[in-house]
Amino acid sequence: MKKVFLIIILAFAALPVFANDTDKQDALLRDFLWKEFINTPKDQRVKTGLALSAGGTRGFAHVGVLEVLENAGTPVDMLTGTSMGAVIGSGYAAGLPVSRLWEIGENIRPDNVSKDLGSTGLLKLVIGGKLPSSKNFETFLEETLQGKNIEDLNIPFACPAMDIKTGEKILFTSGPAALAVRASMNLPGIFEPVEYRQRQLVDGGVVDYLPVDAVRNLGAQYVIASLPLQDYSGVVPKTVAAYLLRIGDIRGAILTEEAVAKANFVIRIKVPNIEVLDFNKLPIAAELGIRETYRVLPMLQEDLIIFNIKYREHEK
């Protein structure tokens, strides 16, 4: 630990003499050490993973999180996501720029997800009792991800789904990325299950709302978790679908407690009055993601810098 303090003292000594204000000194020291960290070769620093939670359209806040982290130079060595987190995470892992993720949010419509989300599809559900298919979304993802397999993405990636027949968590770490992501966001009771290798797959948020363990299994030593939170106090569901989504959402929020405890740093984004399928408010969620991540960025940087120094000392 003596070496750790020596590094910090030397860094402090390198600061400009005019920096007398304590807050300014802290900021200058943090910036100095942060630049040292992000410019360190990958094999000489801690491996940093990012876990993106479920949350329906609120999960589009992850785009704002990624924008701020990327602008700050934060390394993302591996990435996991559930439901909407899988959609955003797979796109980023495939090499899509954040600007392209914004475009998806601004242009996506319900028929990109399912041709059965309109009034005709709902009539089929009422009369025939058949759940809508999310096949359209898989086609959309195929185009967006250029038909890549998970193992061919630029950043190691994984996403969970659940087998509705057995209740098992199925973690996709290879195979068709579009199918895996579709399964991970395939809301139970809203869309028919995705059939894959004798499995009947639904939304991974039911079993792994915030996939922290999954990103650690990919090799992450430091985990940043992005978690959009809903304020339920002012919104009462008005449809059967909304009630189903609300129940799943609350269950998912309960499941996050253990995952949050396993993450090193959690970015909690309050996203009020945006329901799970409220596509028109995707950009609002992303803006909230930017604001909150920018607010906590100095704390994240300090925590990651200290963790990395301790890690390097331990490795010597």
Q: Known catalytic residues? A: 83, 203
- Contact between 234 and 273 under an 8 Å Cβ cutoff? The reply is yes
Number of other CB atoms surrounding residue 235 within 10 Å? 14
In order, the DSSP letters of the chain are -HHHHHHHHHHHHTS-TT--SHHHHHHHHHHHHHHHHHTS-GGGS--EEEEE---GGGGGHHHHHHHHHHHTT----EEEE-THHHHHHHHHHTT--HHHHHHHHHH--HHHH-TTSSHHHHHHHHHH-PPPP-HHHHHHHHHHTTT-BGGGSSS-EEEEEEETTT--EEEESSSBHHHHHHHHT--BTTBPPEEETTEEEEEGGGT-SS-HHHHHHTT-SEEEEEEEE---TT----SHHHHHHHHHHHHHHHHHHHHHHH-SEEEEEE-TT--TT-GGGHHHHHHHHHHHHHHHHHHHHHHHHHHHHHHHHHH-
Task: Say how many Å lie between the first and final Cα of the chain, rounded.
Answer: 12
Q: How far apart are CA 311 and CA 45, in angstroms?
A: 8
Looking at this protein, which amino acid is placed at residue 21?
D
**Unique residue bearing structure tokens 């770490």:** 173
- Per the DSSP assignment, residues forming a β-bridge with 229 are 270
